[in-house]
């Protein structure tokens, strides 16, 4: 006899996997996902997910088990993620740039029962296995299956062979976790962000509304899928609406432009530095990019002159997504209409999100007053995994504390000042590093990338220091560039020095790791004094 509790749950639950189920039922022949190997319809993608889910169930995986996922961008990543959702498993995406100690820590801390790993990453995984005794199952995507002692090893292809294509009927609560997303740790171990089905489901629908995704959209996915920005701000919203996702292993400007031209892509999602490369490539070898309607960027601001250039060259609107992992991730959306009227802002609160500004005493501040950006939203994390102290601190006072500083202007638009840890305390003044970075970009179009940090200084406490990569073919002079920057900033906000370099330490999503820069350059002013 059917379980009435299960029946009611299947009818009314909020489950991320059902986004795919409903798009497949609505438009079974619609092209769902394309990568180097596959062109799958929604019916084919959903069937593959179901076979994979049944294969995992046959191995004994059940609701609440954690399954790690270690892969580059490919269809199998999405298949595994949605199979986890349908079974009530917790997916643990692995950052491919983690060191052995970080990988081992995450696998152990998440209590991962098994891992789906791309064959190219098996050696990296093996190095961490000695510190992860809980991990008993290794499922390999592509290539030969290794023999690893007592651990059960199998292939991803074999996992789903002969399995049913019917929908798995599993009881899953709305607030059950769909993922543990680990934030980068600079001075401590990474924190596990527990994200529920409800949170990611609502964020996906909210993102789809903000970006105006429809089934007619053809969307690029070139940033790492193991990062929530690509996965939950773009991919799951696209699937919710029945759009087509073009999965790219990495960013390659000529290839992306070729894809826009040949496949008539309508939406791109990339970092500002990627758009600069895209526009430079387009200048050298023009393509037909008339199908584009929206270019979305994130992680860093784009100066007004670059936005203007992008809008002209690509012939489409630009918008910024602002958020953080704990928001899954979208918290504010900077609409195309405001890009040039409020350059440097980060937008208005996204659908389902309430934003306020709070002082250090827990008081909400009026328009124009700077303070900490705080949130209330059903999109928020449930908490930090096995870290009650961090969870309590983050939710203190009835709001989620972002760790970001900013303010609202009279038009209701949010301005991000900086991460509190990146605010530079120099000569008794607080200076937002991002404000100096914007001025550097505005001062000289030859600046390709810039990161501003505070470094130890005997007189200033922290000396504002700019680390700069020049655009290809451009030569920059420190004295000349400093003179130009002084035309945009108050004297106390201007860099004391500019350090030119060819590379900077970055996260997998291209975010510059300022903590590493501060360590690498810590003795800069001591050396000058000597």
What are the C-alpha distances in Å from 219 to residues 235, 246, 269, 332, 467? 8, 6, 8, 20, 33
Residue 501: partners with Cβ closer than 8 Å, 6 or more residues away: 467, 468, 469
Q: Please identify, in words, the CATH class of the domain defined by 251-419.
A: alpha beta
- pLDDT value at residue 507: 82
CB of 49 within 8 A of CB of 89? no
Q: How far apart are CA 372 and CA 403, in angstroms?
A: 7
Computed on alpha carbons and rounded to an integer, the radius of gyration of the chain in Å comes to: 24
Using DSSP bridges, classify how beta strands 152-155 and 461-470 pair: parallel, antiparallel or unpaired: unpaired
Domain boundaries along the sequence of the chain: 4-23+44-195, 251-419, 427-529
Hey, how many other C-beta atoms are within 10 angstroms of the C-beta on 183? 15
Residue 259: partners with Cβ closer than 8 Å, 6 or more residues away: 220, 246, 248, 265
Helix (H, G, I), strand (E, B) or coil at 180: strand
- pLDDT value at residue 419: 81
Q: How far apart are CA 236 and CA 19, in angstroms?
A: 8
Q: What is the CATH number of domain 427-529?
A: 3.30.300.30
- pLDDT value at residue 186: 45
Strands (E), 144-274: 152-155, 177-182, 192-196, 218-221, 244-247, 267-270
The answer to whether domain 251-419 and domain 427-529 are alike in fold is: no
**Per-residue tens of pLDDT for the chain, all 530 residues:** 568 799 999 999 999 999 999 999 999 999 999 999 999 999 999 999 999 999 999 999 999 999 999 999 999 999 999 999 999 999 999 999 888 888 999 999 999 999 999 999 999 999 999 899 999 999 999 988 988 888 999 999 999 999 999 999 999 999 999 999 998 654 467 899 999 999 999 999 999 999 999 999 999 999 999 999 999 999 999 999 999 999 999 999 999 999 999 999 999 999 988 999 999 999 999 999 999 999 999 987 788 889 999 999 999 999 999 999 999 999 999 999 999 999 889 999 999 999 999 999 999 999 999 999 999 999 999 999 999 999 999 999 999 999 999 999 999 999 998 888 788 888 777 788 888 998 999 999 999 999 999 999 988 889 999 999 999 999 999 999 999 999 998 888 999 999 999 999 988 778 888 989 999 999 999 865 54
The tens digit of pLDDT for each residue in 139-153 reads: 999 988 988 888 999
Bridge partners (DSSP) listed for residue 90: 66
Q: Please identify, in words, the CATH class of the domain defined by 4-23+44-195.
A: alpha beta
- pLDDT value at residue 192: 97
- pLDDT value at residue 528: 56
What are the respective helix, strand and coil percentages of the chain, to the nearest 5? 35, 25, 40
pTM: 0.87
Hey, how many other C-beta atoms are within 10 angstroms of the C-beta on 491? 6
User: Which pair of structure tokens corresponds to residue 228?
Assistant: 């929530």
Cα four-point dihedral sign 162, 166, 168, 174 = positive
Helix (H, G, I), strand (E, B) or coil at 365: coil
- pLDDT value at residue 187: 45
Closest CA to 440 of 414, 476, 386: 476
């Amino acid at each position: 006899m059917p379980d009435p509790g299960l029946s009611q749950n299947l009818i009314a639950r909020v489950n991320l996997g059902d986004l795919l189920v409903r798009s497949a039922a609505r438009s079974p022949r619609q092209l769902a996902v394309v990568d180097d190997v596959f062109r799958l319809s929604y019916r084919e993608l959903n069937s593959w997910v179901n076979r994979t889910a049944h294969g995992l169930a046959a191995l004994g995986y059940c609701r609440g088990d954690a399954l790690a996922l270690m892969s580059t961008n490919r269809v199998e990543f999405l298949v595994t993620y949605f199979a986890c959702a349908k079974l009530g498993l917790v997916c643990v995406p692995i950052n491919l740039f983690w060191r052995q100690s970080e990988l081992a820590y995450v696998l152990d801390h998440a209590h991962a029962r098994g891992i789906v790993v791309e064959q190219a990453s098996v050696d990296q995984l093996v190095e961490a296995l000695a510190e992860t005794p809980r991990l008993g199952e290794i499922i390999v995507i592509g290539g030969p299956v290794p023999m690893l002692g007592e651990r059960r090893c199998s292939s991803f292809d074999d996992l789903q062979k002969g399995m049913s294509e019917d929908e798995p009927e599993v009881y899953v609560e709305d607030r059950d976790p769909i993922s543990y997303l680990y934030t980068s740790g600079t001075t401590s171990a990474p924190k596990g962000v527990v994200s529920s089905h409800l949170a990611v489901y609502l964020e996906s629908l909210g993102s789809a509304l903000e970006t105006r995704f429809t089934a007619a959209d053809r969307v690029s996915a070139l940033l790492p899928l193991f990062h929530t920005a690509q996965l939950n701000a773009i991919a799951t919203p696209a699937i919710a609406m029945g759009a087509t996702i073009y999965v790219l292993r990495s960013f390659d400007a000529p290839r992306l432009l070729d894809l826009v031209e040949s496949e008539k892509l309508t939406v791109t999602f990339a970092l500002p530095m990627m758009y600069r490369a895209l526009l430079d490539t387009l200048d050298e070898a023009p393509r037909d990019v008339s199908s584009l309607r929206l270019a979305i960027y994130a992680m860093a601001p784009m100066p007004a002159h670059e936005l203007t250039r992008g809008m002209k060259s690509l012939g489409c609107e630009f918008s910024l997504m602002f958020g953080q992992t704990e928001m899954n991730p979208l918290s504010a959306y900077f609409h195309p209409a405001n890009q040039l009227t409020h350059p440097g802002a980060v937008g208005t609160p996204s659908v389902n999100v309430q934003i306020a500004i709070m002082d250090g005493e827990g008081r909400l501040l009026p328009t124009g007053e700077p303070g900490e950006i705080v949130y209330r939203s059903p999109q928020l994390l449930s908490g930090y995994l096995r870290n009650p102290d961090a969870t309590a601190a983050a939710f203190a006072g009835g709001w989620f504390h972002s760790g970001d500083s900013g303010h609202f202007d009279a038009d209701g638009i949010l301005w991000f000042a900086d991460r509190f840890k990146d605010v530079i305390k120099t000569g008794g003044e607080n200076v937002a590093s991002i404000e100096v970075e914007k001025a550097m970009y505005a001062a000289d179009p030859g600046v390709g990338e810039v990161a501003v940090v505070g470094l130890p200084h005997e007189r200033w406490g922290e000396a504002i220091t700019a680390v700069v990569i020049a655009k290809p073919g451009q030569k920059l002079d420190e004295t000349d560039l400093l003179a130009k920057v002084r035309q945009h900033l108050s004297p106390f906000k201007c860099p004391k020095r500019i350090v030119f370099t060819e590379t900077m330490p970055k996260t997998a999503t291209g975010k510059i790791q300022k903590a590493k820069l501060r360590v690498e350059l810590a003795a800069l002013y001591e050396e000058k004094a000597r």
